[in-house]
Amino acid sequence: MSRGAALAFLKGCREGMHLFGQNIALIINTILLTAVYVLGVGMTSLIAKMAGRHFLETRMKKGEKESYWKDLNLGKKAVDEHYRQF
Partner 1 sequence: MAKDSTAKPVYILGISCYYHDASAALLKDGVVVAAAEEERFTRKKHDTSFPLHAARYCLESQGIAITDVSYVGFYEKPFLKMERVLSQHLEMFPRSLKTFLSAVPSWISEKLRVPKAIRRKLGYKKGVLFVEHHVAHAASAFLVSPFSEAAIVTVDGVGEWTTTTYGVGRGNDLTLLKEIVFPHSIGLIYSTITAYLGFSVNNSEYKVMGLAPYGNMNPDTNEYYHKLRRVVDIKEDGSYRLDMSYFTYHYADRMPSGKLCALLGGPATKKGAEMTKRHQDIAAAVQLLTEEILTKILIHVRKETKQENIVLAGGVALNSVYNGKILRKTGFRRIWIQPNASDGGTSIGVASYIHHMLLGNKRGYVMRDAYLGPSFTTTEIKGFLDKRGIKYSEGFLDKRGIKYSEFKNEKEMIENTAKLIYGNAVVGWLQLGMEYGPRALGARSILANPCNPEAKELLNTKVKHREKFRPFAPAVCEDDALTYFDCDEPIPEPTDFMLMVYPVRKKWQKAIPSVTHVDGSGRLQTVRREQNPRYYDLIKAFGKLSGVPILINTSFNIRGEPIVCTPHDAYKCMMGTGIDYLVMDRFLVCREDNPKDMWDSEKYAED
51 touches partner 1 by CB under 8 A = no
| Angstrom distance (rounded) from CA 38 to CA 77 | 39
Specify the residue, 2 or 58, whose C-beta has the smaller distance to partner 1. 58
Q: Is the dihedral of CA 8, 11, 17, 22 positive or negative?
A: negative
Binds partner 1 (CB under 8 A): choice among 15, 48, 50, 52: 48
Backbone angles phi, psi at 69, to 5 degrees: -65, 140
| Angstrom distance (rounded) from CA 54 to CA 86 | 21
52 touches partner 1 by CB under 8 A = no
In the complex, the smallest distance separating the C-beta of residue 18 from partner 1, rounded to whole angstroms, is 17
Interface contacts to partner 1, rule CB under 8 A: 29-30, 33-34, 36-38, 41-42, 44-46, 48, 54-60, 62, 65-76, 79, 82-86
